[in-house]
């Protein structure tokens, strides 16, 4: 009997074909599924808490249909695990699209500095704050926090012609200038004239009014901070019904919105990125906001009281003695001995000779201080370029020297976190000129110590005791 003659045989054949097609389709979909899930998880992960590190990657070879290239490999798609991201892929900060320039602030990477970790036997991690996307320093977080707080308090109103005034050595001004434009304000920056020209040039290009003023003691009405406060008051006093714009003095040294930004964002990010596994946090203090805010988060909010908070201090700053001995004093302040102004160092952005409200907010949480010389900072900056391809500014170099010193006082294997504040680009005319003048950029010849693959000794370079 032929098949066509038998209606039952038709039915059986149709069911068989449907069954086989079903099996083929299911196996094909099962093989595709990990890829679909990976993409879904990536989007979800970008929205939520950062989960960057040890992601499971999907071998493209395994994506092809198992039906023809071997058995299906079972994969673990437990959503509590890290998001599956191909190695080296950048995770977007927020769903791939940032909400204005403000959306590019925070959630910076934590970089393992290989050369310093290998030399010390401790893991040295650096928060890449130069990757903040408005003004390229940690001051982006602070500027945004101060502006938002002022807006909430009704002190600033977009589009009214309001101007933000600030006294700054540069970084905060740059962040304020960028954000001011983004939010409908103008910026007026007062800064000491001993700071690198790159910073005031940049401020001009960002549309800010810049006053570079001679260095004065803080008691002087013409100190750059006092001048900014006065300029803001003068602006407000000129307000008329037809031009009701006001001047707002941001006041990064005394404003609680400064350390609060680090307590709210930088500290939690470090906690998540290290999963709470860190033995020390090391940073310099310009206003003290970073050190206090991160210390408050780690020691209080995250309940990690054992984390050592270490101040990195350049020459001429009184903070080292304040933390170590309870007295604010720098020998370079001695009558007749002062060579340069501000704090007596080539380093910009850190070191201060008064206790600001922002330092005070976390002062009792600071465990110790490390003094870093200009020569050490220059040597470290060059070392980081040569060994890790990191081109940083002077305060970042100070932080890394202090991180090495702090790490050596901790057991092997400890994790130490510090901050890369800004890029070397902002320090070409002063700090990096000095690095070149010191002969640190001379290429080593083959066979010379430190040349031809012979690893230069970090400890000799920095003049610090070799770890045992």
Ligand X SMILES: Cc1ncc(COP(=O)(O)O)c(C=O)c1O
Task: Give the interface with ligand X as residue ranges (CB under 6 A).
Answer: 137, 139, 169, 171-172, 284-291, 349-350, 393, 395, 421-422
Burial (0-12, 13-18, 19+ Cβ within 10 Å), 212: middle
Element (H, E) at 18: helix 7-47
Q: Which is nearer to ligand X, 107 or 426 (CB)?
A: 426
Q: How far is the CB of 82 from ligand X (least distance, A)?
A: 31
Q: How far is the CB of 117 from ligand X (least distance, A)?
A: 22
Q: How far is the CB of 361 from ligand X (least distance, A)?
A: 11
Cα distance between residue 408 and residue 467, in whole Å: 7
Q: Which is nearer to ligand X, 58 or 355 (CB)?
A: 355
Residues present in the chain in total:
468
Residue that is written with structure tokens 């769903």 in the block: 95
Q: How far is the CB of 428 from ligand X (least distance, A)?
A: 14
Q: How far is the CB of 56 from ligand X (least distance, A)?
A: 37
Q: Which is nearer to ligand X, 235 or 296 (CB)?
A: 296
Element (H, E) at 111: strand 110-112
Q: Which is nearer to ligand X, 245 or 345 (CB)?
A: 345
Q: Which is nearer to ligand X, 255 or 395 (CB)?
A: 395
Catalytic residue list contains 139: yes
Distance between start and end Cα atoms, the chain: 93
Cα distance between residue 374 and residue 372, in whole Å: 7
Q: How far is the CB of 32 from ligand X (least distance, A)?
A: 49
Q: Kindly report the backbone phi and psi dihedral angles of residue 56, in degrees, each rounded to the nearest multiple of 5, phi listed first.
A: -80, 130
List, in order, residues 6 or more apart from 349 with CB less than 8 Å away: 169, 170, 171, 284, 286, 393, 394, 395, 421, 422
**Which residue of the set 8, 30, 127, 139 is catalytic?**
139
DSSP 144-188: HHHHHHHHHTTS--TTTT-EEEEE-SSHHHHHHHHHHHHHT-EEE
Residue that is written with structure tokens 């602070």 in the block: 142
Residue that is written with structure tokens 């100190």 in the block: 223
Residue 333 CA from chain centroid, whole number: 32
Q: Would you state the structure tokens that stand for residue 286, as one six-digit string? A: 């310009």
Q: Which is nearer to ligand X, 102 or 422 (CB)?
A: 422
Write out the catalytic residue numbers.
139
């Amino acid at each position: 009997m032929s098949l066509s003659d038998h209606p039952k045989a038709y039915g059986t054949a149709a069911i068989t074909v449907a069954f086989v097609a079903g099996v083929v389709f299911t196996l094909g979909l099962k093989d595709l599924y990990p890829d679909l899930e990976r993409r879904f998880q990536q989007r979800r992960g970008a929205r939520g808490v950062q989960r960057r590190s040890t992601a499971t990657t999907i071998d493209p070879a395994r994506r092809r249909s198992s039906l023809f290239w071997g058995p299906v490999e079972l994969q673990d798609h437990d959503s509590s695990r890290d998001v599956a991201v191909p190695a080296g892929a950048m995770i977007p900060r927020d769903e791939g699209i940032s909400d204005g320039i403000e959306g590019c602030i925070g959630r910076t990477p934590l970089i393992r500095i290989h050369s310093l970790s290998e030399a010390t036997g401790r893991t040295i991690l650096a928060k890449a704050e130069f990757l903040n996307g408005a003004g390229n320093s940690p001051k982006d977080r602070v500027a945004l926090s101060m502006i938002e707080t002022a807006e909430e308090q009704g002190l600033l109103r977009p589009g009214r012609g309001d101007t933000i005034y600030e006294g700054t050595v540069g970084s905060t001004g740059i962040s304020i200038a960028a954000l001011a434009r983004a939010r409908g304000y103008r910026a007026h920056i007062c800064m000491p004239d001993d700071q690198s020209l790159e910073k005031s040039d940049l401020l001009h290009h960002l549309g800010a009014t810049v006053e570079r003023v001679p260095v004065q003691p803080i008691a002087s009405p013409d100190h750059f901070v006092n001048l900014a406060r006065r300029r803001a008051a003068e602006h407000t006093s000129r307000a008329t019904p037809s031009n009701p714009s006001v001047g707002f003095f941001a006041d990064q040294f005394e404003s609680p919105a400064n350390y609060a930004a680090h307590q709210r964002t930088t500290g939690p990010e470090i906690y998540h990125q290290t999963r709470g596994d860190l033995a020390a946090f090391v940073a310099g203090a310009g206003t003290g906001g970073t050190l206090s805010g991160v210390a408050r988060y780690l020691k209080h909010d995250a309940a990690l009281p054992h984390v050592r908070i270490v101040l990195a201090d350049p020459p001429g700053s009184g903070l080292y003695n304040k933390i170590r001995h309870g007295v604010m004093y720098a020998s370079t302040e001695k009558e007749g001995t002062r060579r340069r102004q501000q704090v007596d160092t080539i380093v910009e952005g850190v070191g201060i000779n008064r206790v600001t409200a922002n330092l005070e907010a976390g002062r009792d949480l600071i465990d110790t201080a490390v003094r870093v010389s200009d020569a050490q900072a220059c040597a470290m900056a060059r070392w980081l370029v040569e060994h890790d391809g990191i081109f940083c500014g002077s305060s970042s170099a100070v932080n890394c020297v202090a991180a090495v010193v702090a790490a050596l006082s901790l057991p092997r294997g400890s994790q130490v976190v510090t901050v890369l504040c800004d890029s070397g680009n902002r320090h070409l005319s002063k700090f990096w000129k000095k690095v070149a003048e010191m002969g640190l950029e001379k290429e080593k010849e083959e066979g010379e110590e430190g040349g031809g693959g012979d690893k230069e000794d970090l400890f000799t370079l920095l003049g610090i005791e070799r770890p045992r």
